[in-house]
Amino acid sequence: MYQEQLSSAKPGFILIMIDQSASMSDKYTNLNKAEFAAKAVNRVIGEIITACSSGNEIKDRCFVAAVGYGASINVLFLHKASELAKNPDTTTLKRKVSDGAGGLVEVDEVMRVFVKPTASNGT
């Protein structure tokens, strides 16, 4: 298996492909598939930024691209980690976390938005 440590000197490339066809309007849990996919992708990109962080600095250890596909193909973005970290678009979500006593408590989570839910046209 090929393994390479990502670094600023040897950055990687992460390609995220997102189905944006009409079938993504189908229900999945309490969201539709498009909302669920966008939420997952936004969390992953947030984790990538965190992994590229060193103190207050965001190191460009990788490039990230997102491509939406359905009736057509749309390149949503292609950016270095440091450029993604500058994204000011956020949303607040409710998240259940452990209360430390075996139960769950609902808290607000601020999440950056890189991808918005889309479901249209054919595949």
Residue-wise pLDDT for 28-85, tens only, equals: 888 899 999 999 999 999 999 999 999 999 999 999 999 999 888 889 999 999 999 9
The pLDDT mean for the chain works out to 91
Q: d(Cα 23, Cα 105) in Å, to the nearest integer?
A: 33
Residue-wise pLDDT for 91-121, tens only, equals: 998 888 899 999 999 999 999 999 999 998 7
Q: d(Cα 84, Cα 45) in Å, to the nearest integer?
A: 8
Burial class from Cβ neighbours inside 10 Å (0-12, 13-18, 19+) for residue 63 reads middle
| Alpha helix segments (H runs only) across the chain | 33-51, 81-84
Q: What is the pLDDT of residue 24?
A: 93
Assigned token pair, 32: 């539709």
CA pseudo-torsion sign 100, 104, 106, 109? positive
